[in-house]
């Protein structure tokens, strides 16, 4: 059981839509129509707070979309969605207040009105009985019922919550992992603590057949990292590329097909460029290594059938992984000019998609 005022890390989901924690109370016990809590994130999209009654017949969702608060409500025969207010994905703690005044649902941020949603239905109000369900970090209805679709994963934290003045504690949703603490201070980036990695199917990266080149750029302080930075395997599971950082020797080892070479880690930008059977590497925009291969596993099919892992070494079998996972903060990973969102990968629950600790 988790007290309602606890600090809760929402960014540790093992199931896309399932909430992290939830609580249930009788509607007749509700004495307040206001919830207040503090919220912090660098994540521009995801579920923050959910509530419903009558087992999901009527429901409310507070989420972020493009960094801005979004409210979706289903009540009686009415569905409504509204977006507005300040951007909240700035890594600062914000005081949030959600309340009801007559036919209006109000959202205040840091003491100022951010969003007002009006509701009206011809349906006669029923006697308020039954159970109320509240949840954080996910929803308790099928996502197909949403008026506006969005990605649910939220790398954020809440604290100091007063949830309708209910005394019932939060409980972990069945099958959830143990609660992870929130970082005391954060900065933008994806944090890999050394216990897992993030995997993308290459086909989801929408890379066209590389007639010219495929471009991958990674930003971060590589001298402060240790472990496998990146790996790439083809559809036949042959290792096409592995990049490993050794913090003690301050070197970066590249395994490209059957070729190996090393370089120093004293850079903040690493660029990998694939041109048919040629591969080049540059640090801070200065090219230093070009390799070539006749290996058939390195042709364009790898971008249709392969897998790209950030933070670990892909194994030969689907479930096999290397153990030298990355420890460190990647500020961003850009593939073909588009920044990767770790929330869209199959990743270990320990990885923070949008936030890194400030050391």
CB count, 10 Å around CB of 295?
A: 15
Tens of pLDDT, residues 234-246:
877 788 899 999 9
* CA gyration radius, the chain: 23
Whether 190-357 and 8-177 are alike in CATH topology: the answer is yes
- Mean pLDDT for 90-94 is 97
- pLDDT above 80: residue 321: no
Select from 240, 226, 236, 234 the least CA-distant residue to 312.
Answer: 226
Backbone angles phi, psi at 297, to 5 degrees: -75, -10
> What distances in angstroms separate CA 166 from CA 27, 31, 189, 243, 278, one per listed residue?
10, 8, 36, 51, 62
CATH topology of domain 190-357: Jelly Rolls (2.60.120)
Residue that wins the pLDDT comparison between 105 and 33: 105
Q: Are 109 and 85 in contact, with CB atoms under 8 Å apart?
A: yes
Q: Mean pLDDT, the chain, as a whole number?
A: 86
Residues near 23 by beta carbon (within 8 Å), at least 6 away in sequence:
4, 133, 134, 135, 163, 166, 168, 169, 170, 171
Tens of pLDDT, residues 155-212:
999 999 998 877 777 888 876 567 788 999 999 999 999 999 999 998 888 776 555 6
Using pLDDT thresholds of 50, 70 and 90, give the confidence band for residue 63.
very high
Residues near 303 by beta carbon (within 8 Å), at least 6 away in sequence:
202, 203, 205, 207, 209, 210, 214
- pLDDT above 90: residue 44: yes
Which stretches of the chain are DSSP H helices?
302-305
Determine the pLDDT at residue 280. Answer: 86
- pLDDT above 90: residue 342: yes
- Beta strands 251-256 and 307-310: pairing type? unpaired
Determine the pLDDT at residue 214. Answer: 87
Residue that wins the pLDDT comparison between 13 and 137: 137
Backbone angles phi, psi at 275, to 5 degrees: -120, 100
Q: Are 23 and 171 in contact, with CB atoms under 8 Å apart?
A: yes
Q: Are 242 and 228 in contact, with CB atoms under 8 Å apart?
A: yes
- pLDDT above 60: residue 335: yes
Residue that wins the pLDDT comparison between 275 and 96: 96
Determine the pLDDT at residue 96. Answer: 97
Residues near 71 by beta carbon (within 8 Å), at least 6 away in sequence:
60, 61, 62, 63, 80, 81, 82, 83, 105, 107, 115, 117
Within 13 Å, how many C-alpha atoms sit on residue 204's CB side?
A: 12
- Beta strands 278-283 and 198-201: pairing type? unpaired
Determine the pLDDT at residue 317. Answer: 56
- pLDDT above 50: residue 296: no
Put the strands of the sheet holding 156-163 in their side by side order.
8-9, 156-163, 34-41, 94-101, 104-109, 112-118
- pLDDT above 70: residue 302: yes
Residue that wins the pLDDT comparison between 211 and 4: 4
CA distance 315 to 109: 46
Percent of the chain past pLDDT 90, that is, above it, reads 51
Q: Are 41 and 188 in contact, with CB atoms under 8 Å apart?
A: no
Name the CATH architecture for the domain at 8-177: Sandwich (2.60)
C-alpha 51: how far from chain center: 22
CB count, 10 Å around CB of 180?
A: 14
Using pLDDT thresholds of 50, 70 and 90, give the confidence band for residue 55.
confident
Determine the pLDDT at residue 297. Answer: 46
Using pLDDT thresholds of 50, 70 and 90, give the confidence band for residue 46.
very high
| Domain ranges, ordered by start, for the chain | 8-177, 190-357
- pLDDT above 60: residue 312: yes
- pLDDT above 80: residue 287: no
Q: Are 57 and 121 in contact, with CB atoms under 8 Å apart?
A: no
């Amino acid at each position: 059981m988790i007290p309602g005022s606890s600090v809760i890390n929402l960014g540790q989901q093992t199931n896309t839509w399932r909430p992290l924690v939830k609580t249930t109370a009788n509607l007749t016990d509700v004495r307040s129509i206001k919830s207040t809590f503090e919220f912090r994130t660098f994540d521009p999209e995801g579920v923050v707070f959910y509530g419903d009654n009558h087992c999901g017949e009527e429901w409310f969702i507070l989420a972020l979309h493009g960094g801005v608060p979004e409210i979706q409500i289903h009540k009686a025969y009415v569905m409504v969605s509204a977006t507005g207010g300040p951007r909240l994905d700035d890594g600062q703690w914000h005081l949030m207040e959600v309340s009801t005044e007559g036919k209006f649902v109000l959202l205040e941020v840091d003491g100022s009105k951010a969003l007002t949603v009006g509701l009206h239905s011809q349906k006669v109000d029923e006697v308020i009985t039954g159970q109320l369900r509240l949840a954080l970090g996910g929803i308790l209805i099928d996502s197909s019922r949403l008026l506006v679709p969005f990605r649910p994963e939220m790398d954020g934290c809440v604290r100091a919550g007063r949830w309708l003045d209910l005394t019932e504690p939060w409980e972990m949703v069945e099958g959830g992992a143990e609660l992870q603490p929130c970082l005391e201070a954060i900065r933008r980036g994806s944090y890999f603590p050394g216990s897992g990695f993030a995997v993308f199917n290459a086909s989801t990266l929408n890379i066209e057949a590389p007639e010219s080149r495929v471009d991958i750029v990674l930003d971060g302080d590589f001298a402060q990292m240790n472990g496998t930075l990146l790996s790439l395997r083809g559809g036949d599971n042959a290792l096409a590329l592995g990049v490993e950082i050794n913090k003690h020797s301050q070197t970066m080892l590249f395994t490209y097909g059957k070729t190996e070479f090393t370089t120093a880690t004293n850079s903040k930008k690493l660029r990998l460029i694939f041109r048919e059977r040629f591969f080049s590497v540059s640090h801070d925009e200065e090219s230093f290594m070009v390799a070539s291969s006749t290996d058939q596993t390195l042709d364009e099919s790898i971008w249709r059938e392969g897998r790209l892992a950030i933070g670990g070494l892909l194994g030969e079998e689907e479930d096999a992984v290397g153990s030298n996972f990355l420890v460190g903060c990647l500020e961003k990973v850009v593939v073909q000019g588009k920044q990767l969102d770790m929330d869209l990968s199959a990743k270990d629950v320990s990885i923070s998609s949008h936030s890194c600790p400030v050391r």
